[in-house]
Amino acid sequence: MGQFLLLFLILLMAGVSAHIAAAPAAPALPKIGVVSAIGDKLYLRKVGVTVFGNEAEEMAIESWRLDDLMIAKVRIALAGRFDVRPVTYQRAPFASLAERNEIFAREHRPELVRSGVSPQGLDGYLVITKSRSQYGNSNQSLLGLGVVEGGSKLFGTQLYAYANYVLGMVDGRNWTISEQAAPFLPPRSASEIGGISGKVDKSLWPASPDAAANQRLKAALAGLIDRSLPCGLQRMKLIPPVQACDATVNMPGHD
């Protein structure tokens, strides 16, 4: 009886092992790399009532490591849907694309990925570069990450932080842009000057070009990225719909 029971258990375990071995493997996740090139400069703008009140400066902010922050947020958002692999690249060529103000600047991205990003052979490369937005109803545009002061001393001024960027997926097989989208703020966070922007305290205007002395402004820009990125990834169809990004959500004061 004992031998019969032992034989039965051996056969049972063999059957279970065979079933486990025969179970189909889960499909491999698409392998992508993320290239972010928006965090090299802070653009300081003053937009006056007339053109004579306009001013523009730049400040180096690489030490804020906002590109690393962007990549980390993308990795978390895409977990379980994509296998996000680390890649190496030179940021400067990607960061300068929007500064050229070319009509077909997007066409340079596959070329830069193919020649300057390692490793090659991934299914896709999500490229995040600066973009421009119009400042309110003016003819002025706001590029990349920055802070803008609008108005006049006579009528009062307002300060806004902004983070304008665009997402583009470069196909790692045929080197074309398979999808592109501009992130946006959830409707309840939309700013009156447009783009990805938000009103901030006037004390956040940099008093010096030292990035380390402007951590509150860094936090404001990181917050804009944090709120807008999910809406961009949703628009790219890389993540499921995000309720906060639904354009049909009622705005405060509206039915």
pLDDT digits (tens, 9 = 90+) for 151-195: 766 667 899 999 999 999 999 999 999 999 999 998 877 778 889
What is the reported pTM? Answer: 0.83
Q: What is the mean pLDDT of residues 65-74?
A: 98
DSSP bridge partners of 171: 124
The CA-based dihedral angle spanning residues 228, 167, 135, 246, taken in that order and rounded to the nearest 10 degrees: -40
Please measure the distance between the N-terminal and C-terminal CA atoms of the chain and give it in whole angstroms.
78
Check residue 68 and give left, alpha or beta (phi > 0: left; psi -120 to 50: alpha): alpha
Q: Which residue, 20, 10, 60, 14, is CA-closest to 40?
A: 60
> Could you read off the pLDDT of 197-227 as tens digits, one per residue?
999 999 999 988 888 889 999 999 999 999 9
Q: What is the pLDDT of residue 170?
A: 96
Q: What is the CA 75 to chain-centroid distance, rounded?
A: 11
Q: Are 45 and 145 in contact (CB under 8 A)?
A: no
- Rounded Cα distance, 171 and 168, in Å: 10
Q: What angle do CA 60, 100, 74 make, to 5 degrees?
A: 60
DSSP string, 81-113: T-EEE--B--HHHHHTTGGGT-TTGGGHHHHHH
Backbone phi, then psi, for 89, in 5-degree steps?
-170, 160
Q: Indicate the domain borders of the chain.
A: 29-245
DSSP bridge partners of 161: 147, 198
